[in-house]
Structure 1
Amino acid sequence: MITDTHLQLGQASALPQTPEEATLDRVPNPHPDTDYLARFTVPEFTSLCPVTGQPDFAIIVIDYVPGPWLVESKSLKLYMHSFRNHGAFHEDCTVAIGKRLTELLEPRYLRIGGYWYPRGGIPIDVFWQTGEVPKNLWLPDQGVAPYRAR
């Protein structure tokens, strides 16, 4: 669900039980004529393995160049927390988040990095992007070191 007018910000909000139930709010970009990068980092992202039900942990980094909309951060926080009881593979979680934000925001560019902690001794890092990096944009490294016993 997408909302533009009835924001969760400033109101008591229940934690959504699933990503599908979560409402993402957006607000107008005050600088729609300017290319700039907005970054959200979720250092304690959790979801569940869809087979074993065991918890999976990741650092999720979302970079986007806003178009007409910005994501409202409280709604993003609640959306990300809704994955705590959600069973999905690492690839599905990462790409689904990127696609949902792209649909919501219509960004000029968006990339998401899912840096997943090892399960069974193997870390799985997942990267997805849409669009091209604007020509004169500073696009910093996502800041998560390659796997070294993260």
Structure 2
Amino acid sequence: ELKALKMCMWSYRDQGAFHEAVTNQILDALVELLAPRYMRLTSRWYVRGGIYTTIAAEHRKRGWKAPVPVDLGTQRSEPVRPFSQG
């Protein structure tokens, strides 16, 4: 499975296209294959000339809303006490 994914990614290597367009093509292909409710794809492009580009693209299924995040840093917790039998 990883080899198939690697080969799929490498198939975009020699395309004469903008990084944003290729990132969106990869995201569209993954969305079609996996049908996720939400997907975020971040691509890192290493090119000649010392210019590195990072592109992020997202897909959200129509009507899907992200769950409310839980901030675990502000939750108060009691210390765990051993079970007593009586």
TM range (shorter): 0.5 to 0.7
Matched, 1:135 2:67: yes
Whose strand fraction is larger, Structure 1's or Structure 2's? 1
Distance (Å, rounded) in 2 between the aligned partners of 1:81 and 1:122: 20
Q: What CA deviation, in whole Å up to 9, does each residue of 1:5-38 have, x standing for no partner?
A: xxxxxxxxxxxxxxxxxxxxxxxxxxxxxxxxxx
Distance (Å, rounded) in 2 between the aligned partners of 1:97 and 1:126: 12
What code does the residue aligned with 2:27 have? G
Determine which of 41, 61, 85 is the counterpart of 1:112. Answer: 41
Show the counterpart of 2:16.
87
Shift of 1:87: 2.0
Distance (Å, rounded) in 2 between the aligned partners of 1:83 and 1:133: 31
Distance (Å, rounded) in 1 between the aligned partners of 2:65 and 2:44: 21
CA gap of 1:130–1:86, structure 2 versus 1, over 3 A, is same
Shift of 1:95: 1.0
The secondary structure found in structure 2 opposite 1:85 is coil
Shift of 1:128: 0.6
Shift of 1:76: 1.4
TM-score (norm 1): 0.36
Detail structure 1 runs of 4+ shifted over 3 Å in the superposition. 117-123
Structure 2: segments with no counterpart, 5+ residues: 70-86
What is the aligned length? Answer: 66
CA RMSD of aligned residues (A): 2.6
Report 1:31-110 matches (<5 A): 72-110=1-39
Q: What CA deviation, in whole Å up to 9, does each residue of 1:41-60 have, x standing for no partner?
A: xxxxxxxxxxxxxxxxxxxx
Structure 1: segments with no counterpart, 5+ residues: 1-71, 138-150
Whose helix fraction is larger, Structure 1's or Structure 2's? 2
TM-score (norm 2): 0.57
CA gap of 1:123–1:133, structure 2 versus 1, over 3 A, is farther
Identity among equivalent positions (%) equals: 42
